[in-house]
Structure 1
Amino acid sequence: AMRRLDHLKTEKKGLQEKAGLIPYIPKGASLSGLTEEERIFLGLVDGKKNLQKVFSNCGLGVYKSFEVFNSLQSRGLLGLRKVRVLVVDDQKVWRDVISQMLSQETHFEVVGTAEDGVDALEKLSKLKPDVMTLDLQMPRLDGIKTLYWMMSGGYDILLKSRYNIEIEDTYRCPVVVISAVAKKMAPETLEALMGGATGYITKPSRLLPESLEQQREIIAKTVLMASQVDLIKTRRIRTYNIENKPTPTEGTRKLVCVGASLVGGLTSLMQLVPRLPADLDAAVFVMVDDLYSEDHTKSFAEFLDRHSKIKVECASKPMLLKRGCVYLVPADRAVRFGITKIDKKFHTAFKVFSKRKGGQIDKSFRPLDEMLFAALKCRGLDKRIGVVLAGDGTDGKLGFLEMVKQGEQVFVQDFYSSLNPIKPENVAITGVARVVPLSSMVKNIVLEMGRS
């Protein structure tokens, strides 16, 4: 038993060391005579998913999957490769620093560097990396324009007509923005995410050893997550510019509660909110994990409002619920719903209040769960639905479960369209929610709530 335990520990350690590597089927490999388990395993190998993702999706269990993987690899039917990364920055010192950080990790291979957007687009088609890191402030072609040209797929015409550079074909890959201006909720950051970037990292102001070591861990984690993103998730997000939006009307008794996270969830929100109709017969409350600052929340709300059909605002003061309005709630606030009487009529209202004590937030505070339970307790609401978008963490799991127990509907973003599927998986694993593609989420919300 002890020998078996030691063997299992060795296998687990081996898995952890290889988890971020990408398995592939070598050319010319003979796939005849495979067992059923081997066919299941190889059916998930597409040269993009890392080993950990294949293990978790094949349904064979960790140790059986490791056994199948070792058998296939020993027979030459399966190979492993590192995540190929193209580093783009106009400053050589940062190209060297980022390349060195990634090279220190066992999962990455820096296949090239580029000094501006034009150089990056040219090398994309030649090197075909799995991920590109991109600076935003560069000469000739800045990061935002580079991102938009790559996502459009027509940059071969740009290179030939403006820079006299010919390439054989165009290529797209997930992009992680690494820039000094890529700060939380900054216009440049939101513009990059809207353009299709899968994540962003703020460069440290100084090249100090302690800050670089912390930065290395963040870059490695973000690039590894980006390497698992399907190209369909990295497309440019369609937005709407409507000058004269309908004014939201007071008096709704229907509520949509949306939960997401900063890591992976912002992109989902940017695809969902702009497509919500202005005449949605419900109020929409959005809670984003880790978005604590009221200023950051207001900036994000203003950005979404400029690009959406529906009205978007920050929930910062008590007011009556309005149909056709999206409220963003800072994650350091608790929400309460209730009934108020105005001009001999009863209306459903809400208020928010800070949960900070001495400038700190209680670690046990779960803002999304509190908002969901508050909505369920309110007698002024006739109908509620929950929406779980991409992100990490378990906040909201208990609230959404209770929502289903009380007969309400909960929709979970499917894992394939999630940049970070941890939060949707935590709710879907309970088996009580409906898993739907992000592209169908608005349709499901409208079918449930109707239009005024």
Structure 2
Amino acid sequence: MAIRVLVVDDSAVMRSVLSEIINQADDLEVVGTATDPIVARELIKQLNPDVVTLDIEMPKMDGLEFLDKLMRLRPTPVIMISTLTERGSDITFRALELGAVDFVTKPKLSGAQGMRPYAEEICDKIRAAYQARLRSPSKFAPAAGAPPSGTSTVGGTAGNGPAIDASTLRERLVLIGASTGGTEAIKEVLCRFPEQMPGILIVQHMPEMFTGSFAKRLDGLCKIRVKEAEDGEKVMPGTAYLAPGHSHLLVKRSGGLYVCELSKADPVNRHRPSVDVLFHSAAKHVGANGVGVILTGMGKDGAQGMLAMKKAGCWNIGQDQESCVVYGMPREAAQIGAIDEVSTLNDVALRVVTRLRQTGRRAG
């Protein structure tokens, strides 16, 4: 039975393009289209679609307002259709906070060949959304300049206990990978970290125009510093480095320090940046000094790299099925024996910090 999709967009061209893409997949079917949220509201009642694709800027009611109402009154998997602009990225992150499963950017209508990767992406994301575990909307405003209400940092869950010693801060690294649902999951983890942390390297599957905005958003919410990674920069304690959407992120060793390296090599597992690329580099250059974390996401990216990290002595944590939006990447890693412990999302930061303290005491 095909996954039933409602397309909501005020552009007739976009409705036509999205409908054609979706209907070409054997397991997907567009059951209706709507020009604005008012029409969409009635069609959702009539058609009960499995997944909704939703434009953000529309007449009568914008996509965010409609999404907020929909997730509170009739929770439905939603894929946002976003524009490649800074404003578009800010609004998209707010949509993810409100409960959207994922987003795709509006395509450049440049012929069938150029549309093929976009068609594969949106169809894959619709399939993932259909299987997604919907979560309650975030209860805090974005970029408020302080950790979200209810999260724990210094003096809270992950911040309780003895400080992480100086040698651990210098020698250890935390490596994090995520995909679908990962923007909220990464935020949840980073906002619970204390200020004194080793360097953190992150890969989140995300387009180039969005990673810089995402890093800035996290930097305004977390005790640690968060920035987009740059090629050749030293990895410093208390700082998280997010892979830019145009490049793989690798870690290398140089003069006793960890260094970020960016690469525009071919996509791995259809992704650039790829979690596997980061994790394989950590297996080679970080080894037992690493703590790996794999969070919610569709597909298998990161599983083989995490296995390589484990074989090199790294301690790996996987998000549990119940707290994942899509239990894909952590499941793949668990199935091949790459994970040392499974944790709910709320406890991931605590488990990471606990591990760092334990190994720090043993090393001392």
TM range (shorter): 0.7 to 0.9
C-alpha displacement of 1:113: 2.6
When residues 122 and 368 of structure 1 are mapped into structure 2, their CA distance, relative to the original with a 3 A threshold, is same
Matched, 1:440 2:347: yes
Q: Which residue number corresponds to residue 319 of structure 1? A: 234
How far apart are the structure 2 equivalents of 1:224 and 1:146?
Answer: 22
Name the aligned partner's letter for residue 258 of structure 1. I
How far apart are the structure 2 equivalents of 1:376 and 1:184?
Answer: 40
Task: Pick from 47, 53, 59 the counterpart of residue 139 of structure 1.
Answer: 59
Matched, 1:353 2:261: yes
Matched ranges for 1:16-415 at <5 A:
21=1, 82-151=2-71, 153=72, 170-181=73-84, 186-206=89-109, 208-211=111-114, 215-232=118-135, 235-236=137-138, 238=140, 241-242=144-145, 252-253=169-170, 254-261=172-179, 263-273=180-190, 275-288=191-204, 297-316=211-230, 317-319=232-234, 321-322=236-237, 324-330=238-244, 331-337=247-253, 349-356=257-264, 360=265, 366-376=277-287, 384-391=290-297, 396-405=302-311, 408-415=314-321
Contact 1:242 1:309 in 2 (8 A): no
C-alpha displacement of 1:289: 5.4
How far apart are the structure 2 equivalents of 1:206 and 1:403?
Answer: 41
2:286 counterpart SS class:
helix
Q: Which residue number corresponds to residue 160 of structure 2? A: none
C-alpha displacement of 1:350: 2.2
1:21-62 Cα shifts (integer Å, max 9, x gaps)? 3xxxxxxxxxxxxxxxxxxxxxxxxxxxxxxxxxxxxxxxxx
When residues 185 and 134 of structure 1 are mapped into structure 2, their CA distance, relative to the original with a 3 A threshold, is closer
Contact 2:86 2:210 in 1 (8 A): no
Task: Pick from 401, 407, 429 the counterpart of residue 335 of structure 2.
Answer: 429
Q: Larger radius of gyration, structure 1 or 2?
A: 1
Contact 2:176 2:202 in 1 (8 A): yes
C-alpha displacement of 1:100: 4.1
C-alpha displacement of 1:138: 0.4
How far apart are the structure 2 equivalents of 1:270 and 1:88?
Answer: 28
Q: Output the TM-score relative to the length of structure 2.
A: 0.74
User: What do you get for the CA RMSD once the two structures are aligned?
Assistant: 3.9
How far apart are the structure 1 equivalents of 2:268 and 2:70?
Answer: 41
Give 5+ residue unaligned stretches, structure 1.
1-20, 22-81, 154-169, 341-348, 378-382
How far apart are the structure 2 equivalents of 1:178 and 1:194?
Answer: 15
1:368 counterpart SS class:
helix
Q: Output the TM-score relative to the length of structure 1.
A: 0.61
How far apart are the structure 2 equivalents of 1:389 and 1:122?
Answer: 36
How far apart are the structure 2 equivalents of 1:305 and 1:147?
Answer: 26
Contact 1:255 1:384 in 2 (8 A): yes
> Relative contact order, CA 8 A, sep 6+: which one is greater?
2
How far apart are the structure 2 equivalents of 1:422 and 1:290?
Answer: 17
Name the aligned partner's letter for residue 444 of structure 1. R
When residues 257 and 136 of structure 1 are mapped into structure 2, their CA distance, relative to the original with a 3 A threshold, is same
How far apart are the structure 2 equivalents of 1:432 and 1:354?
Answer: 25
C-alpha displacement of 1:439: 2.9
Contact 1:198 1:267 in 2 (8 A): no
Give 5+ residue unaligned stretches, structure 2.
148-152, 155-164, 270-275, 359-364
Contact 1:198 1:264 in 2 (8 A): yes
1:118 counterpart SS class:
helix
The percentage of counterpart residues that share the same residue type is 29
